[in-house]
Amino acid sequence: MPPTALVTGATGCVGANVVAALLARGYDVRAMCRATSSLEALDGLAPELVVGDVLDPASLVAAMQGCALVFHIAAVADYWRTPTKRIYRVNVEGTRNVLTAALEAGIERLVYTSSVGALGVPPPGHLLDESATFNLPPRRFPYGHSKHLAEQAVQEAVAQGLDALIVNPTGVIGARDVHFIGGSVLREVRRGLFWFAPPGGLNWVDAKTAGLGHVLAAERGRTGERYVLGGQNVSHRVAIEIVAEVVGGRRPLLTLPRPLMSVVALLTDVFNAVWPGTPLFSGEQARLSGAEIYCDWSKAQRELGFPYTPFRAAVERAYAWYRARGYL
């Protein structure tokens, strides 16, 4: 009989898809969420619900009672909408709290959800893999730096005897993304906001496939290892064109020259500083969008049996989910 698994961040896109994958494989699942969290991402699923917060150590210890597995996914993912101090507090301090609680509770295995952001930016013409190290100034990409620091905390816990490993999902897009993290591109393309495409590209992973990858990592992964959970490497222009074909929207007129992205980033920062409301994207996103953040995720294929899902299929799944709920 499969063990009971605790999932932190269960009401986010990745967390909800991990819950779905665990339930599909017969696990008993305890989904941890904050008291204020919407449960919409868990629509159609029936895990045990428990209220907790990664910044409340006592709630973590209580949530882990009777569990053998922990999937620590809770994090600030919408970094362009969140103050930097909050990013570090949740992503680093919160992870340390989870690791301490796991050691105290005698958890048999912990899977930590990091990010492709913790891998940095590859040199032109190269692919990121598990050997990559964060190589950006922290102030340029606080989110990636916070995930890098959290990974270090995981390795420290492994040295203390915790059976833990790390997964690094790439750009996640697909069903159950109620907060429009990766899904924001669908909404913005449908609104006709992409007149121009950034010059870089990204590796994209389907959300449902990423959820399965977490479970495969728990079942087959090696202690202390990293596994990039990836999919298709796609230029931003091609990605926008595919999204436009699926959701209906304007295709970009042209691709911006890479040297222009620093100017776009500066103007974005100025605009966000003076314009009220939640920004659509940040200057740091604009800077990074000039890079080709492509990945080699063959290690996950080889060791975990992690499958491939094309970008278009992930977009179609996301769009179908949003349409069924009236989001788009």
3-state SS class at 167 = strand
Task: Tell me how far the alpha carbon of residue 312 is from its chain's centroid.
Answer: 18
Question: pTM higher than 0.85 for the full model?
Answer: yes
Beta bridge partners of 48: 30
Residues 6+ apart with CB under 8 A from 115: 143, 144, 147, 168, 169
Confidence of residue 3 (pLDDT cuts 50, 70, 90): confident
Contact 164, 111 (CB under 8 A): yes
What is the Cα–Cα distance from 216 to 210, expressed in whole angstroms? Answer: 10
**Owner of token pair 């890098």:** 148
209 by DSSP, 3-state: which? Answer: helix
> What pLDDT digit, counting tens, does each position of 175-209 carry?
999 999 888 899 999 988 888 888 899 999 999 99
The stretch 63-84 carries a mean pLDDT of 90
Q: How many percent of the chain have pLDDT more than 70?
A: 93
For residues 174 and 14, is the Cβ–Cβ distance under 8 A?
no
Dihedrals phi, psi of 293, to nearest 5 degrees = -95, 75
Cite the DSSP H helix spans in 126-281.
142-159, 184-190, 207-220, 236-247, 261-274
Locate tokens 């100017």: which residue? 263
Q: How far apart are CA 324 and CA 40, in angstroms?
A: 13
Lowest mean pLDDT among 45-49, 237-241, 273-277: 273-277
Ranges of each domain in the chain: 4-179+203-232+294-310
**pLDDT for position 173:** 97
End-to-end CA gap in the chain? 40
Q: Is it the case that residue 15 has pLDDT exceeding 90?
A: yes
Q: Which residues on adjacent β-strands are paired with residue 172?
A: 205
Residue 243: the pLDDT is 96
- CATH tag, 4-179+203-232+294-310: 3.40.50.720
Q: What mean pLDDT is predicted for residues 151-174?
A: 98
- What pLDDT was estimated at residue 302? 99
List, in sequence order, every beta strand (DSSP E) within 21-126: 28-33, 48-51, 69-72, 109-113
Residue 139 clears pLDDT 90, i.e. is over it: no
Tell me the mean pLDDT in the region 12-17: 97
Residue of 27, 79, 88, 143 marked active site: 143
What residues pair up with 173 in beta bridges, in sequence order?
206
Three-state SS annotation for 40-75: HHHCCCCCEEEECCCCCHHHHHHHHCCCCEEEECCC
* pLDDT band, residue 143 (cuts 50/70/90): very high
Active site residue 79: no
Question: Is pLDDT above 90 for 276?
Answer: no
Residues 6+ apart with CB under 8 A from 220: 303, 304, 305
Number of CB atoms found within 10 A of residue 56's CB: 15
